[in-house]
């Protein structure tokens, strides 16, 4: 079959053995590759109740069907496993060049079982697979590890995914790093890699990915590329102009349906930080651990021009025409760092009231090198500051240092302690839920999370569909699954028969309606995301709209299939339901996954753009479960749905 490599690599670190397995075509027709192939493999092979940091957990590195085909935006890969942070399904998505590296070795996925006795790397090049000693690399940060491995092997095609110190010391908010500091950050899967004593996976293959219809792929690429506005569209326009969008969103009693094409020039010019000021002004960005507002934090401090003025060069993932990334200066401590992303600029800016941009660059590079999730790290530092402010921890806990909002010195100090797992850093290094257990009674009110994972920097009190996905997503607390704005941009209704067309504008706040249509929209969001992650595409590309970035046609011309958009969405529904079943198999009660009160508006904020807003998270959840064919009260998929999806009944 074209598009895929038709094989996976399975490595058992406990026995020091490896083998390849042929994947039948029907498997790809049922699950695609990427997240779907990962879900099918992990659901079958991880026993119920397995310790996420024990040898029974499996870590999968998966590439999409489109990875390596040259389809635009096809440079994303995922790591999958049982999350030690939530105890359920875990996955994390990353860009760069590691995804094509997996396929260049002849595999669609690499699954790692067991635990090595000593630090090792896994090396593969298409003809050789070796488990190599990595004692000399243990203790190094991720950037240095990657540089040493590439230097030792030589050549331009070496790809590395590795852990830094935080994965080694099993911090439950650690991720896995590639391309000198890009992180598959969420779900704590860096700790799983550390528990396996696996420092790095090193790929050095040269195999090509076959495409069923190469001329058609080129035609699709050309047509999609022609729609992407050139960077000249924003030439000479200052970043502060973006504030206007924020003020418009804040002032309007209705949410206007946004065309995703309009967002691309700003993404091309600034990257995700184009949203910095918009988010603070509109209320999308949580401020002061979700209890503040823009009145506490002037948005100008994270003006995108201030950040890009430090940019040395642009950064593109594989096959990306947009290049939202960048490499910038991080003086005086580091020569350079990946450009701040919106999530990092907000979790170490507005969330902590930090206005010291230089500290954010330094922290960004420290987190990238240690392999720490910036969202979770910012959240746990916000918790610590609020606990200190309220007397739940004191200077005896912090080595004599006072913690306060906006104090970049103490924030930086905490980051370093968390990386080293020293003192208070050890208390905080496993995320907010474990930190609260260690700090004690009263601290839980300051721990903002869903299902054990810290919330990303998008406030559901502005866009309630974010909050819905935070609680129903098998990896809770994820902003990349969907939102009302995301639904508007991806436009599933243009091609999917059952997806409702989003109104041109929607009422907000007290007049926001929770109805079946909201559930259907959110179901379409999450199902489409499974197709996107099975294809290996970037969400920012899909934000053009599914009728403009031809995801379904891409899949057909890569594989030679002739499936309809509805057929692909049925596959996506199967994958989403299987990830959900994974959680049920591992003892998670879907109805018990909740959103922290503050983030749901309980009590509501008393000032700022989100003043007085609360969201009906239970009503939204019922509407989503119903749309997915899961029981509206318990969240358990019903027999008809399981039969429709040909998934196993019972766990
Ligand atoms: S838009 Fe950004 S994250 Fe997405 S593929 Fe391109 S460079 Fe990577």
Q: What is the pLDDT of residues 436-450, one digit of tens each?
A: 999 998 999 999 999
Residue 500 has pLDDT above 70, yes or no: yes
Residue 651 has pLDDT above 60, yes or no: no
Cβ atoms of 478 and 93 within 8 Å: the answer is no
3-state secondary structure of 31: helix
Is the torsion defined by CA of 239, 244, 247, 248 positive or negative?
negative
Mean pLDDT of 335-357: 96
List pLDDT tens digits, range 259-274: 899 889 899 999 999 9
Cβ atoms of 633 and 622 within 8 Å: the answer is yes
Residue 382 has pLDDT above 90, yes or no: yes
Residue 72 alpha carbon to ligand 1 centre in Å:
10
3-state secondary structure of 325: strand
Residue 571 has pLDDT above 80, yes or no: yes
Residue with the nearest Cα to atom 2 of ligand 1? 324
Rg (CA), the chain: 23
**DSSP character for 362?**
H
Confidence of residue 161 (pLDDT cuts 50, 70, 90): very high
Cβ atoms of 591 and 618 within 8 Å: the answer is no
Q: What are phi and psi of 595, to 5 degrees?
A: -105, 135
Confidence of residue 253 (pLDDT cuts 50, 70, 90): low
Residue 267 alpha carbon to ligand 1 centre in Å:
9
Residue with the nearest Cα to atom 4 of ligand 1? 538
Instruction: Compute the distance between CA of residue 643 and CA of residue 39 in angstroms, rounded to an integer.
Output: 18
CB count within 10 Å of CB 464 equals: 26
Position 18 scores a pLDDT of 98
3-state secondary structure of 174: strand
Mean pLDDT of 565-572: 98
Q: Is 631 exposed, middle or buried (0-12, 13-18, 19+ CB in 10 A)?
A: middle
Residue 373 alpha carbon to ligand 1 centre in Å:
18
Instruction: Compute the distance between CA of residue 174 and CA of residue 185 in angstroms, rounded to an integer.
Output: 7
356 Cβ partners below 8 Å, 6+ apart? 408
Position 503 scores a pLDDT of 84
Instruction: Return the bridge partners of 132, or none.
Output: 121
Confidence of residue 510 (pLDDT cuts 50, 70, 90): low
**79-98 burial: b if 16+ Cβ within 10 Å, else e:** bbbbbbbbbbbbbbbbbbbb
Confidence of residue 346 (pLDDT cuts 50, 70, 90): very high
List pLDDT tens digits, range 175-222: 999 999 999 999 999 999 999 999 999 999 999 999 999 999 999 999
> Ligand 1 within 6 A of 326 CB?
no
Position 509 scores a pLDDT of 66
Q: What is the largest CA-CA distance in the chain?
A: 67
* Opening angle at CA 79, ends 83 and 151, nearest 5: 125
Q: Around 172, how many Cα atoms within 13 Å sit in the side-chain half-sphere? A: 22
Residue 366 has pLDDT above 80, yes or no: yes
Mean pLDDT of 52-63: 98
Low-confidence winner among 38-47, 443-452, 461-470, 499-508 (lowest mean pLDDT):
499-508
Residue 54 alpha carbon to ligand 1 centre in Å:
34
Low-confidence winner among 101-110, 372-381, 496-505 (lowest mean pLDDT):
496-505
Cβ atoms of 110 and 201 within 8 Å: the answer is yes
List pLDDT tens digits, range 315-345: 999 999 999 999 988 888 898 899 999 999 9
Mean pLDDT of 65-69: 97
Mean pLDDT of 640-644: 96
Residue 347 alpha carbon to ligand 1 centre in Å:
20
Atom of ligand 1 nearest to the CA of 75: 5
Position 439 scores a pLDDT of 97
- Choose between 237 and 37: higher pLDDT: 37
Residue 264 alpha carbon to ligand 1 centre in Å:
11
Residue 513 has pLDDT above 90, yes or no: no
Position 648 scores a pLDDT of 80
Instruction: Return the bridge partners of 17, or none.
Output: 12
Instruction: Return the bridge partners of 311, or none.
Output: 328
Position 273 scores a pLDDT of 94
Low-confidence winner among 174-188, 247-261, 531-545 (lowest mean pLDDT):
247-261
**Mind giving me the DSSP string for 262-297?**
GGHHHHHHHGGGGGHHHHHHHT-S--TTTT--GGGS
Q: Around 348, how many Cα atoms within 13 Å sit in the side-chain half-sphere? A: 29
Position 318 scores a pLDDT of 94
Residue with the nearest Cα to atom 8 of ligand 1? 317
CB count within 10 Å of CB 567 equals: 15
Instruction: Compute the distance between CA of residue 205 and CA of residue 97 in angstroms, rounded to an integer.
Output: 12
Atom of ligand 1 nearest to the CA of 315: 7
Confidence of residue 17 (pLDDT cuts 50, 70, 90): very high
* Opening angle at CA 56, ends 52 and 59, nearest 5: 65
pTM of the predicted model as reported, rounded to 2 decimal places: 0.97
Mean pLDDT of 296-313: 93
Instruction: Compute the distance between CA of residue 526 and CA of residue 468 in angstroms, rounded to an integer.
Output: 11
List pLDDT tens digits, range 600-623: 999 999 999 999 999 999 999 999
Cβ atoms of 211 and 70 within 8 Å: the answer is yes
Instruction: Compute the distance between CA of residue 59 and CA of residue 42 in angstroms, rounded to an integer.
Output: 9
Atom of ligand 1 nearest to the CA of 267: 1
3-state secondary structure of 124: strand
Residue 537 alpha carbon to ligand 1 centre in Å:
9
Atom of ligand 1 nearest to the CA of 272: 2
612 Cβ partners below 8 Å, 6+ apart? 509, 510, 604, 605, 606
Atom of ligand 1 nearest to the CA of 324: 2
Confidence of residue 632 (pLDDT cuts 50, 70, 90): very high
Instruction: Compute the distance between CA of residue 67 and CA of residue 406 in angstroms, rounded to an integer.
Output: 42
Tokens 């530092």, located at residue: 381
Mean pLDDT of the chain: 95
Q: Which two tokens stand for residue 286?
A: 């949580």
Residue 650 has pLDDT above 80, yes or no: no
């Amino acid at each position: 079959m074209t598009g895929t490599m038709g094989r996976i690599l399975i490595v058992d670190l406990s026995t020091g053995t490896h083998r390849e397995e042929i994947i039948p075509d029907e498997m790809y027709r049922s699950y695609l590759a990427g997240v779907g192939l990962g879900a099918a493999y992990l659901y079958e092979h991880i026993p119920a109740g397995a310790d996420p940091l024990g040898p029974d957990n499996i870590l999968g590195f998966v590439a999409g069907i489109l990875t390596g085909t040259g389809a635009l935006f096809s440079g994303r890969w995922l790591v999958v496993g049982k999350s030690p942070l939530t105890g359920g399904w875990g996955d994390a998505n990353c860009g760069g060049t590691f995804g094509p590296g997996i396929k260049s070795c002849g595999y669609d996925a690499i699954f790692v079982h067991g635990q090595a006795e000593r630090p090792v790397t896994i090396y593969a090049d298409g003809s050789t697979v070796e488990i190599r000693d990595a004692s000399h690399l243990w203790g190094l940060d991720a950037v240095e590890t990657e540089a040493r491995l590439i230097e030792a092997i030589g050549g331009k095609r070496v790809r590395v995914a590795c852990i830094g110190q935080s994965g080694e010391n099993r911090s439950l908010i650690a991720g896995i790093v590639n391309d000198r500091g890009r992180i598959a950050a969420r779900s704590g899967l860096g700790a799983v890699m550390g528990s396996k004593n696996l420092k790095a996976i090193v790929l050095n293959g040269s195999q090509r990915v076959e495409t069923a219809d190469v001329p058609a792929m080129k035609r699709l690429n050309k047509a999609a590329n022609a729609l992407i506005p050139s960077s000249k569209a924003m030439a000479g326009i200052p970043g502060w102009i973006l504030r206007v969008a924020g003020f418009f969103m804040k002032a309007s009693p209705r949410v206007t349906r946004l065309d995703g094409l309009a967002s691309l020039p700003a993404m091309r010019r600034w990257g995700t930080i184009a949203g910095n000021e918009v988010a603070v002004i509109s209320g999308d960005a949580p401020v002061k651990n979700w209890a503040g507002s823009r009145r506490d934090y002037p948005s100008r401090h994270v003006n995108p021009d201030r950040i890009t003025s430090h940019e040395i060069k642009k950064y593109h993932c594989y096959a990306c025409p947009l290049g939202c990334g960048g490499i910038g200066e991080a003086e005086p401590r580091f020569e350079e760092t990946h450009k701040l992303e919106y999530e990092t600029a907000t979790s170490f800016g507005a969330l902590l009231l930090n206005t010291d941009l230089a500290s954010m660059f330094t922290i960004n590079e420290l987190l990238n090198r240690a392999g720490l999730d910036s969202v979770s790290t910012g959240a746990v530092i916000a918790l610590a500051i609020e606990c200190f402010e309220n007397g739940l921890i004191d200077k005896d806990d912090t080595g004599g240092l006072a913690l306060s909002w906006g104090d970049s010195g103490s924030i930086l100090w905490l980051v370093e302690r968390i990386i080293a797992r020293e003192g208070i850093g050890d208390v905080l290094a496993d995320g907010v839920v474990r930190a609260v257990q260690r700090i004690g009674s009263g601290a839980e009110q300051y721990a903002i999370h869903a299902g054990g994972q810290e919330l990303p920097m998008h406030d559901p009190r502005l866009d309630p569909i974010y909050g819905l996905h935070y609680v129903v997503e098998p990896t809770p607390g994820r902003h990349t699954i969907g939102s009302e704005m995301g639904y508007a941009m991806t436009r599933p209704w243009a091609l999917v028969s059952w997806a409702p067309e989003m109104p041109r504008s929607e009422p907000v706040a007290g007049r926001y309606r929770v109805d079946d249509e909201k559930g259907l929209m959110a179901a379409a969001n999450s199902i489409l995301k499974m197709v996107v992650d099975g294809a290996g595409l970037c969400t920012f590309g899909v934000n053009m709209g599914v009728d403009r970035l031809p995801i379904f046609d891409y899949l057909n011309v890569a594989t030679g299939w002739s499936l309809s958009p509805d057929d692909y969405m049925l596959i996506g529904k199967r994958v989403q339901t299987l990830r959900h079943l994974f959680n049920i198999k591992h003892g998670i009660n879907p109805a018990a996954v909740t959103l922290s009160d503050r983030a749901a508006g309980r009590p509501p904020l008393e000032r700022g753009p989100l003043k007085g807003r609360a969201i009906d998270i239970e009503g939204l959840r019922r509407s989503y479960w119903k749309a997915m064919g899961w029981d509206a009260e318990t969240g358990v998929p019903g027999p008809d749905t399981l039969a429709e999806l040909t998934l196993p009944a019972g766990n």
